[in-house]
Chain A
Amino acid sequence: MEFLSLILLVLLPIIGAIIIFGPWFPQNEVKIRRFAKGWAGLVFIYSLFFIVGFNSSQAGYQFENILKLPNGNDWIAPLGINFAFGVDGISITLLVLTTFLVLISLIASKYSITKRHKLYYSMIFVLEAAILGVFTAKDLFLFFLFWEIELIPMYFLISIWGTGRKEYSAMKFILYTFTGSIFMLASILAVVFYHYSQTGILTFDLGVYTAIKDYSYPMIFSILAFFGFFAAFAVKLPIVPLHTWLPDAHVDAPTPVSMLLAGILLKMGGYGLIRMNLQILPEAVKVLAPLLIILGVINIIYAACIALVQTDLKKLVAYSSVSHMGIVLVGLGALNAAGISGAVFQMVAHGIISAGLFMVVGVIYLRTHTREIPMLGGIGQNAPRIMYFSLMIVLASLGLPLLIGFAAETLAFYGAFTSYAFDGFSAFGWYLPVSIRILTAVGIFGIILTAAYLLWMFQKVFYGNILPRWKNFHDATPHEVVILLSLILVIVVFGFYPKGLSSIFVPTVNNIVNLI
């Protein structure tokens, strides 16, 4: 597999962006879109080769790839910064999810993007490169760099092609994320400095910090650094009460951007929690894991309760996103193989499902120009295909067995429920295991709420007699069928055969658990 280079994978979208943006490319809308779809397909196929070549029984980084300067030095040698990439089981899963969803959302761009195509498609590619960079960076500095790069294309995508209060939402998004990330930078510097003061080696190599170290951080330091990282990822994930940017951004973003935002960008938060908080600061995680579960349960219940009272279709889906990311948090808080696997599984599942849900919302909005649930009704009569596709996605979202959401939620909650044994280590005696179990049970109750609001929404929108004003509502076009069908295919395949997905990242997860 000599031709597999992660650097090339990250650079490919950038090259695509340059090709589209440059003066040499025709201004023709159709040509731009065709090229963009083709290029995204190329990136997707290229990323599939990585899955094929990936040795899933092996933990640790694979496809490691370091770019040197022409004179043989490291990228920024004086600071010990490498242009280094590598993937493990978790990042490769998210990597393929990214390339897949970008392709899907580019197909979905046909109807919702009507202006400034050159800028739009190049921005999508820059965004893709940044996200791929975050998932593959094997250097703390590089991780932070890509984390920041992602802000600018996202800002443009929301503020130029969005609707409603788009400028406000985009600015809110950029300020929230940026504020979170400065604390991550402080933590990164603190951790690197600690390593430097202990060993005299200045390096930003992620591998050094995630392996077993021959020193341990003082507890206060470790907890402060934990919260530094946590601030960035909590904004991104998002965790209540730092979630307020998300409904705004989702509601005002165009459909494909919403799909990317919910499908991939939120996963950067979960990925960061695993990569940074769990792997770099195991000491702090051991102490603060119950906090993660508590925050996760709050996320699930609080966001589900808010989703119950939404009348805006897109806001409802946005809050359901927040609620589902709570499950990721619960799984991570469990700190055992089942919990973390569940969290990773949930990230993939939610990526697919939420992209599907936003697609459905976009399909409806395109035809009716409204997202108010009371205004809609009986659409299923005119559009059976859209209805059945939506049904599959909704059912997957509320965790029906044999669909992708079920395996994820079960694993995560199982992990959390069994995370604290009665006879094992516990600083709080029997209070901790019992309260964690009660909390998990409360969290599971959130699934019922999810079922309530999603089914209520589904019934209102699709069932009943069609309202007279929507009698011209037409069924899914081939484009939309392709998008929804491919998403549903993933939902069903991995719902029936979750091992196909989990076998990729379970060795890595086991490795992480062993280190904690």
Chain B
Amino acid sequence: MNLLFDIANALLPEMLLAILIIICLVLTFSFKDDEQNLVFIAAMTGLIFILVSFVFLPNFQENSAFSGAFISNNFTILFRILILLGATFTVLLSKRYVSNFGNSIGEFYTLILMATLGAMLLTGANDLIMIFVAIETLSISSFALCGYTKLDKFSNEAALKYLVIGAASTAVMLYGFSFLYGITGQTNVDDIVYALSNYEGSIALIISFIFVVAGFGYKLSAVPFHTWAPDVYQGAPIPVAAYLSVVSKIAAFAALIRFMTLIYADISIFTVVIAVISVITMTAGNLMAVGQKNIKRLLAYSSIAQAGYVLLGLAVLTTEGISGMIFYLIVYLFMNLGTWAAVQIFASQTGMDSIDDYNGLAHKNRYFALCLSVCLLSLAGIPITAGFFAKFYLFKAVLFAGYEYMPLLIIALVNTVFAVFYYVKVIRAMYVRPVGKFAKQNGEVKISLSLQTVLVLTVLATVFLGLFAGPVIDLSKASADSLRINKKPQIENSTNITSCLGQ
């Protein structure tokens, strides 16, 4: 019993989630298809209950479970809350979608919960095996979710593509892990760090770094590992696409941040590699988004670009950079989910998803158009939304790491100009263009309550975080502080401007 309490100190939400999954499974096979909305209710109550259960987790101190394979501290707690919030919103988003589909309703929610369990374990995973298992739990559930609408050929294509690329990239990451194991003979991250502290870097460590980055890059849809994202987002059910672009990404970022700062922070090419990936990701994402005609593909490329911005914080490798990433991800959760919710609402009304179909939407329902505009402006980084502040904070962290990061900052800033162009294109369609196909249809637009809730909550959060960012910045700072960046002190002081610019 004592052992159980020890584990619960670190893993209480995950344990509850596992119980919830079992409950949902049982409900799924004990009720008929048309009564399975019960699973939705169970999942929602359960998720909210689990969110509340975080109160019982001992804060401010590090707890581990399974002999150090899982770590719970401020950093992972924040990320697990984010993931659960994302999952809750996704469940709300999918209610209408799934009940329209008609059968296997229960499985859908169960799979989302399973993926969430994997995502939460991934944030705190502190053992190579644990990371692998968590990623697989997340991925395999996601593969199934992508192919959920089994009669739709796009959905099948999405599932297959995601499966093949996912399997390949996990293999690559495992190969990278094997180098780490070869060098140190350990699988626990703390042990590896200890073993590496006396280890003069070698080519093997760098190779493992590259492979691990590639493996995570696939989850983050960082360029050049992004090719699956647009097709999967387009083909998969919209709630699943939202889930992949938000929750799955946030989990991968959490694991990436912890893994990279602990193990690879000392590698000489660390900053260069991450910075290059970040720059390529944001630039390619933004440039390719410019020409998109389909809103889902546009959002896919946009979320690729967003991942590029977030990686900036990792490239500079300072505590402030990490806290900038965390703040950005918090904001990203709301603004991106809000956008997906709006897309889902529109698709559920009309079944259309081309940008041109949004023409004249503001005439039809101006509050809906306003909500979508707020989310898009936030993604573009225009005040007074949270996205503006998130970018500002992240960019500030990049520059405050030293003037040598100025080029990186300028590239990121130039990227935001492209971003403005394509986000404004959607807003233009809604407000400026003459009334299109959808808006011509007669009759009041009825938006289901669950979708409305998601949209309103996320938009409110987006605006609120933009107005009162201070406390949330403190929060992300606190959770970044609980992370240690394993970098040997450098002799030269990089913040000294005179060394960079000369007199």
B468 interface hit (Cβ, 8 Å): yes
Asked if B22 CB lies within 8 Å of chain A CBs, one says no
Query: 8 Å CB contacts to B: which residues of A131-160?
Result: 141, 145-146, 148-149, 151-152, 155-156, 159-160
Given A76-B469, A160-B431, A193-B400, also A185-B413 (CB < 8 A): yes
Residue contact B473 to A79, C-beta cutoff 8 Å: yes
B residues less than 8 Å from A242 (CB atoms): none
Q: From A146, which residue of chain B is reached at the shortest CB distance? A: B383
- Residue of A whose beta carbon sits closest to that of B425: A171
B 389-426 to A, binary, CB cutoff 8 A, 1 in contact else 0: 10011011001100100100110011011001100100
Which chain A residue lies CB-closest to B373? Answer: A152
B contact face: mostly helix, strand, loop, or mixed:
helix
A73 interface residue per 8 A CB criterion: yes
In the complex, whether B497 has a CB less than 8 A from a CB of chain A is: yes
Q: Which of A119, A146, A155 has the most CB of B within 10 A?
A: A155
Asked if A193 meets B399 with Cβ closer than 8 Å, knowing A148-B388, A167-B428, the reply is yes
Closest A residue to B432 using CB positions: A159
Q: Confirm or deny: A77 has a beta carbon within 8 angstroms of a beta carbon on chain B.
A: yes
Contact residues in A for B497 (Cβ distance below 8 Å)? 194, 197, 218, 221
A30 to B202, CA, bound (A): 77
Q: Is A163 an interface residue (CB 8 A)?
A: no
- The reply on B461 being an interface residue by CB < 8 A is no
Chain B residues within 8 Å of A166, by CB: 432
A126 to B409 alpha-carbon distance, docked (Å): 30
Which residues from chain B contact A221 at a C-beta distance below 8 Å? Answer: 497, 501
Q: How far is the CA of A152 from the CA of B420 in the complex (A)?
A: 11
Complex Cα distance A75/B467, Å? 9
Query: B441 within 8 Å of A by Cβ?
Result: no
Our pick among B413, B417, B420, B474 for the contact of A186 (Cβ within 8 Å) is B413
CB contacts (< 8 Å) of B342 on chain A: these are: none
Q: Is the CB of A149 within 8 A of B384?
A: yes
B400 A175 Cβ-Cβ under 8 A: no
Most-contacted residue by chain A among B366, B396, B400, B421 (CB, 10 A): B396
Could you say which residues of chain A place their CB within 8 Å of the CB of B469?
Answer: 76
Contact between B470 and A76, CB atoms less than 8 A apart: yes
Specify which of B377, B406, B413, B498 is in contact with A190 (CB 8 Å cutoff). B406
From A77, A141, A218, give the contact of B502 (CB < 8 A): A218
Q: Please name the residue on chain B nearest to A75 by beta carbon.
A: B470
- Tell me the residues in window 42-92 of chain A with beta carbons closer than 8 Å to chain B beta carbons: 69, 73-79
CB contact between A167 and one of B399, B421, B432 (< 8 Å): that residue:
B432
Q: Are A196 and B400 in contact (CB under 8 A)?
A: yes
Chain B, 246-293, CB within 8 A of any chain A CB: none
A74's partner among B395, B399, B416, B470 (CB-CB below 8 A) is: B470
Chain A, Cβ-Cβ closest to B466: A145
A141→B473 CA distance, assembly (Å): 16
Closest B-chain residue to A162, C-beta based?
B432
Asked if B382 and A186 sit within 8 Å, CB to CB, the answer is: no
Q: Is the CB of B470 within 8 A of A77?
A: yes
| A69-B468, A149-B384, A182-B413 given; A175·B421 CB < 8 A | yes
A151 to B413, CA, bound (A): 17
- State the Cβ distance, A287 to closest chain B Cβ, in Å: 15
What is the number of residues of chain B that contact chain A, defined by CB distance less than 8 Å?
Answer: 41
Residues 30-49 of B, flagged 1 when their CB comes within 8 A of A and 0 if not, give 00000000000000000000
How far, in whole Å, are A113 and B497 apart by their CA atoms in the complex? 54
A160-B432 in contact (CB<8A): yes
Bound CA span A185–B388, Å:
12
Check if A220 sits within 8 Å of B383, measured CB to CB: no
Residue B496 CB within 8 A of the other chain: yes
Residues 229-245 (chain A) with a chain B CB within 8 angstroms: none
Query: Which partner residue on chain A sits nearest B367 by CB separation?
Result: A23
Q: How far is the CA of A189 from the CA of B383 in the complex (A)?
A: 17
Instruction: Known A167-B428, A174-B420, A190-B403; judge A78-B473 contact (CB<8 A).
Output: yes
Known interface pairs A73-B470, A196-B400. Does A189 touch B432 (Cβ–Cβ under 8 Å)?
Answer: no
Please determine whether B377 and A152 come into contact, CB atoms closer than 8 angstroms. Answer: yes
Chain A 288-303 against B: per-residue CB contact (8 Å), 1 yes, 0 no?
0000000000000000
Which residues of A are found within 8 Å of B470, using beta-carbon distances?
69, 73-79
Residues on B with beta carbons closer than 8 Å to the beta carbon of A75: 470
Min Cβ gap A130→B in Å is: 9
Residue A465 lies at the interface, judged by CB distance under 8 Å to chain B? no
Interface check A503, CB cutoff 8 A: no
- Give chain B nearest CB distance to A421 CB in angstroms: 30
Partner of B503, one of A167, A182, A185, A218: A218
A506 and B439 alpha carbons, distance in the complex (Å): 56
Residues 427-469 of chain B, each 1 if its beta carbon lies under 8 Å from chain A, else 0: 0100110000000000000000000000000000000000011
The answer for the CA separation of A221 and B473 in the assembled complex, in Å, is 29
Query: CA A311 – CA B413 in complex, angstroms?
Result: 39
**Residue ID in chain A nearest B399 by CB atoms:** A189
Which A residues lie within 8 Å of B350 (CB)? none
Given A149-B383, A221-B501, also A78-B392 (CB < 8 A):
no
A148 close to B383 (CB less than 8 A) = yes
A residues near B421, Cβ cutoff 8 Å: 171, 175
Contacting residues, chain A, for B416 (C-beta < 8 A): 178, 182
Interface residues of B in 125-180 (CB under 8 A from A): none
A79: contacting residue among B393, B414, B502, B503, CB under 8 A: B393
Residues of A with C-beta under 8 A to B496: 197
Which residues of the other chain, A, contact B362 by a CB distance below 8 angstroms?
119
> Does B477 touch A at the CB level, under 8 Å?
yes
Decide: B383 and A76 in contact? CB cutoff 8 A.
Answer: no
Among the listed B383, B409, B424, which residue makes an inter-chain contact with A171, where contact means beta carbons less than 8 Å apart?
B424
Residues of B within 8 A of A175 (CB): 417, 420-421
Contact residue among B382, B393, B417 (Cβ-Cβ distance under 8 Å from A182): B417
Whether B59 is near chain A, meaning CB under 8 Å from some CB there, is: no
B399 contact set on A, CB distance < 8 A: 186, 189-190, 193
Across the interface, which residues of A come within 8 angstroms of B428, CB to CB?
A: 159, 167, 171
Is the C-beta of A426 less than 8 angstroms from some C-beta in chain B? no
Bound-state Cα–Cα, A360 to B474, Å = 54
A435 CB–B CB distance under 8 Å: no
Check A218 against B501 for contact (C-beta < 8 Å): yes
B residues 364-389 touching A (CB-CB < 8 Å): 366, 377, 382-384, 388-389
Determine if B410 and A186 form an interchain contact, defined as CB atoms under 8 angstroms apart.
yes
Pairs A–B under 8 Å by Cβ, sample size 29: A75-B470, A76-B389, A76-B470, A78-B477, A119-B362, A146-B383, A148-B383, A149-B384, A152-B377, A167-B428, A171-B421, A174-B420, A174-B424, A178-B416, A178-B417, A182-B410, A182-B413, A182-B417, A185-B392, A185-B395, A186-B399, A189-B399, A190-B399, A192-B396, A197-B495, A197-B497, A218-B497, A218-B501, A218-B503
Residues of A within 8 A of B (CB): 69, 73-79, 119, 141, 145-146, 148-149, 151-152, 155-156, 159-160, 166-167, 170-171, 174-175, 178-179, 182-183, 185-186, 189-190, 192-194, 196-197, 218, 220-221
| In the complex, the 5 A-B pairs of residues with the closest C-beta atoms, listed nearest first | A182-B413, A78-B473, A76-B470, A189-B399, A159-B432
Additional A-B contacts beyond A78-B474, A145-B388 (15; CB < 8 A): A76-B389, A76-B469, A76-B470, A76-B473, A78-B477, A141-B392, A160-B432, A179-B417, A182-B414, A183-B413, A186-B413, A196-B400, A197-B495, A218-B503, A220-B501
